[in-house]
């Protein structure tokens, strides 16, 4: 019952009791009420062999004169003898604080601590114990998780400084008092429920103090802007600044500037959607694209080995809903992402498990180029060589999902392939993966598409006066053609080299004798296809023709 309610009921309760038991009886009743209120928060001590009220009082209570109170409270008949296993009720208010330590549960990156007892600054590893007066710092890539005796945990994030001002236990490790300072940086707190005002959990910053008795919340201090922020995910936080206390409830956040009272609490942003994020990532550095979150002006993304987030492998802020993470080893990870509003308050977290499978890295595909037009019926495929590769896995398909495989060759040892089978005209997709000496099969490269067209074949030319006209089947719309005519098969003595927009070419009558003709297509995007097969042309003297003009005169032989 609240004190205000007690005062309101005083005339109703006191007068009948004075008439019944007298004024001294009333005082006794009130004293018992105060005592019982204190007893409502108790520590239960289990008696060990050899215990008595005096050694228990000496070990755990504030003063030796508390042993008669302990005897009266527990109705102990013989203070010299306590049966082992007996349960003693001890009010938490009677307990004395005993210095204790917090344990560093895990670290990542640069983490250093200055030990008060020695004055030395040391590198911090998992298992390190920190006591009152010690200070711990993290570097730009550092993080550390501290675990207290009651199970509470604190995640100290990058570029942060934390001072352990006071760390006490009462009776046993399950009753803790922690008073910490955060001059700069960010912490995530998971605080076990505390049952007594003496066992509080407080973090001081230059701008505000956060006090809790059991909650999950974040606290940050920006020393440049002199702004402290808190976000409450569970329970409630007393946020104090400039002699003003603001109670921040679950689902809300607040900020304050040094020297000013805390601002009004604001609702936290909802968690971003991660439903459509991929569960396997095959490229590094890691990248995710999020759905834009209403009200978010920025996004914080963190990556850890599991959902406990005891060590941050990555912690970054982006102004757009894209996550660009680090180059991590292959393995299983968890992404934690949240929106940040215009006040700098960070919202609820979304979690996404994913597997990184990026090694051995795939080669780069050389040819056919992406979206190229290939005139050969048997194209040649080439890709870059990898020093880690002992074999390549080649796939060719007629669909982008590679559900309709035409070739699946898992043990190629060369970075070049000319298939034995003919390919019909159409659209194809190809990709290559790497296998290393350890037998690991890496991810496939990004697929590349190409279009296979039948090779335009030039028909026998038509003679018109002093002109020969060559014609061939048309290719794709807007394609142009480059035609070369030479005196030698190696095209060192080129007679004609022209580019035309239509599938025909008219040239002046060349000298008689053997000539060699080849042609290639040029796409509108600038891609120049390889030359098609060479054709040999036997051109007689112009005045030799016995059949007149307009007749097919020249013999063409494909080489």
Span 432-440, average pLDDT: 95
Q: Can you give the pLDDT at residue 309? A: 96
Count of CA atoms in the C-beta half-sphere (13 A) of 412:
22
Is residue 555 predicted with pLDDT exceeding 80? Answer: no
Answer whether residue 509 is part of any domain: yes
Cβ contacts of 150 within 8 Å, gap of 6 or more = 173, 174, 175, 176, 192, 194
Does residue 57 sit in the same domain as residue 37?
yes
Query: Which of 77, 96, 115 corresponds to the end of one domain?
Result: 96
Asked if 126 and 258 sit in the same domain, the reply is yes
Q: What is the pLDDT of residues 231-247, one digit of tens each?
A: 999 999 999 999 999 99
Give a yes or no: residue 189 inside a domain.
Answer: yes
Q: Find the domain containing 432 and state its range.
A: 365-452
- Mean pLDDT, the chain, rounded, equals 87
Task: Identify whether residues 251 and 104 lie together within a single domain.
Answer: yes
For residues 50 and 81, membership in a common domain is answered with yes
37-96: pLDDT as tens digits: 444 478 788 898 989 999 988 888 889 999 999 999 999 999 889 999 999 998 878 888
**Cα–Cα dist 506/143, whole Å:** 75
Mean pLDDT of 299-316: 96
Assess whether 91 and 104 both reside in one domain: no
Question: What CATH number corresponds to the domain at position 320?
Answer: 2.60.40.10
Q: What token pair was written down for 547?
A: 């059949």
Domain contains 272 = no
Based on the domain organization, do 441 and 520 belong to the same domain?
A: no
Helices 67-74, 53-60: inter-axial angle, 10-degree rounding: 120
The whole-angstrom separation of Cα 242 and Cα 232 is 21
Q: Are residues 552 and 431 in the same domain?
A: no
Residue predicted with more confidence, 477 or 161: 161
> Domains in the chain: how many in total?
5
In a domain, 275, yes or no: no
Are residues 370 and 227 part of one domain? no
Q: What is the pLDDT of residue 303?
A: 98
pLDDT at 61 (0 to 100): 87
Per the CB < 8 A criterion, the answer to whether 227 and 207 are in contact is: yes
Q: Residue 10 domain-assigned? A: yes
CA 190-195-200 angle, to 5 degrees, is 55
For residue 192, the domain's CATH number is 2.60.120.1440
User: For the purposes of burial, counting CB atoms within 10 Å of the CB of 170, is it exposed (0-12), middle (13-18) or buried (19 or more)?
Assistant: buried
Interval 323-336 mean pLDDT = 95
Separation CA 133–CA 181 (nearest Å): 10
The pLDDT tens digits for 105-152 are 999 999 999 999 999 999 999 999 999 999 999 999 999 999 998 899
pLDDT over 80 (residue 545): no
Give the HSE-up count for residue 169: Cα atoms under 13 Å, Cβ half-sphere: 15
Residue 445 tokens, joined: 């490269």
Question: Which residue in this structure is represented by tokens 């500037």?
Answer: 257
Residue after which a domain boundary falls, among 267, 290, 312: 267
Q: How is residue 84 written in tokens?
A: 């082992």
Rounded mean pLDDT of 350-360?
A: 97
**Mean pLDDT, residues 461-483:** 85
Which of 96, 112, 130 is at the close of a domain? 96
The answer on 352 and 370 residing in a single domain is no
- Residue 89's closest CA among 55, 65, 56, 54? 56
Pair (207, 251) in one structural domain: yes
Residues 374, 368 contacting (CB under 8 angstroms) = yes
Residue 35 has pLDDT above 70, yes or no: no
What confidence tier does 522 reach under pLDDT thresholds 50, 70, 90? confident
Question: Is the residue at 501 inside a domain?
Answer: yes
Phi, psi of 447 (to 5 degrees): -70, 150
Q: Dihedral (C-alpha) 371, 372, 377, 383: value to the nearest 10 degrees? A: -90
pLDDT for the residue numbered 461:
83
Q: Which of 114-123, 236-245, 269-278, 508-517 has the lowest mean pLDDT?
A: 508-517
User: CB–CB of 139/109 below 8 Å?
Assistant: yes
**CATH number of 81's domain:** 3.10.350.10
Residue 23 pLDDT more than 90? no
Q: Which residue has the tokens 């911090």?
A: 124
DSSP 290: P
Tens of pLDDT along 195-212? 666 678 999 999 999 999
User: Is 200 in the same domain as 108?
Assistant: yes
| 110 shares its domain with 196 | yes
Residue 443 lies in a domain: yes
Burial 51-65 (b: 16+ CB within 10 A, else e): bebeebbeebbeeee
**Which residue carries 């290393």 as its tokens?**
436
Closest CA to 466 of 517, 515, 507, 500: 507
Distances (CA, A) of 38 to 43, 172, 450: 11, 19, 82
pLDDT over threshold 70, residue 225: yes
């Amino acid at each position: 019952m609240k004190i205000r309610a007690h005062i309101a009921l005083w005339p109703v309760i006191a007068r009948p009791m004075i008439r019944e038991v007298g004024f001294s009886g009333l005082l006794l009743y009130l004293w018992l009420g105060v005592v019982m209120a204190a007893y409502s928060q108790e520590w239960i001590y289990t008696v060990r062999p050899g215990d008595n009220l005096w050694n228990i009082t000496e070990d755990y209570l504030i003063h030796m004169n508390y042993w008669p109170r302990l005897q009266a409270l527990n109705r102990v008949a013989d203070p010299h003898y306590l049966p082992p296993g007996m349960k003693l009720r001890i009010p938490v208010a009677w307990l004395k604080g005993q210095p204790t330590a917090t344990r560093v549960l895990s670290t990542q990156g640069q983490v250093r601590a200055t030990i008060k007892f020695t004055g030395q600054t040391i590198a911090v590893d998992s298992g390190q114990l920190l006591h009152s007066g010690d200070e711990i710092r993290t570097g730009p890539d550092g993080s550390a998780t501290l675990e207290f005796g009651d199970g509470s945990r604190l995640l100290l994030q990058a570029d942060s400084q934390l001072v352990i001002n006071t760390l006490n236990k009462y009776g046993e490790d399950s009753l803790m008092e922690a008073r910490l300072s955060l001059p700069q940086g960010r912490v995530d707190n998971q605080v076990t429920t505390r049952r007594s005002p003496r066992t509080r959990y407080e973090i001081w910053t230059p701008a505000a103090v956060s006090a809790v008795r059991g909650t999950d919340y974040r606290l940050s201090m920006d020393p440049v802007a002199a702004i402290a922020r808190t976000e409450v995910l569970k329970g409630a936080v007393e946020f104090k600044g400039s002699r003003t206390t603001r109670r921040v409830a679950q689902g809300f956040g607040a900020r304050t500037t040094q020297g000013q009272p805390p601002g009004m609490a604001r609702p936290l942003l909802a968690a971003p959607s991660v439903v459509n994020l991929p569960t396997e990532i095959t490229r590094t550095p890691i990248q995710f694209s999020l759905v834009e979150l209403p009200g978010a002006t920025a996004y914080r993304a963190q990556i850890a080995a599991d959902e406990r987030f005891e060590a941050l492998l990555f912690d970054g802020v982006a102004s757009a809903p894209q996550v660009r993470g680090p180059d991590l080893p292959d393995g299983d990870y968890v992404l934690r992402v949240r929106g940040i509003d215009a006040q700098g308050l960070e919202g609820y977290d979304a979690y996404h498990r994913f597997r990184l499978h990026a090694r051995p890295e795939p080669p780069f595909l050389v040819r056919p180029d992406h979206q190229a037009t290939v005139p050969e019926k048997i194209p040649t495929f080439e890709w870059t060589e990898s020093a880690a590769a002992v074999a390549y896995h080649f796939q060719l398909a007629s669909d982008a999902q590679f559900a309709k495989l035409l070739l699946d060759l898992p043990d190629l040892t060369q970075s070049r392939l000319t298939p034995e089978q003919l390919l019909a005209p159409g659209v194809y997709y190809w990709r290559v993966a790497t296998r290393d000496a350890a037998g690991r099969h890496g991810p496939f490269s990004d697929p590349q598409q190409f279009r296979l067209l039948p090779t335009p074949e030039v028909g026998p030319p038509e003679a018109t006066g002093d002109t020969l006209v060559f014609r061939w089947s048309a290719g794709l719309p807007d394609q142009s053609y480059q035609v070369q005519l030479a005196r030698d098969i190696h095209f060192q003595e080129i007679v004609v080299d022209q580019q035309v927009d239509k599938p025909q070419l008219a040239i002046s009558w060349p000298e008689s004798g053997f000539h060699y003709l080849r042609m290639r297509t040029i796409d509108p995007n600038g891609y120049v296809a390889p030359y098609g097969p060479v054709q040999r042309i036997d051109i007689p003297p112009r005045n030799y023709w016995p059949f007149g003009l307009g007749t097919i005169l020249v013999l063409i032989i494909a080489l």
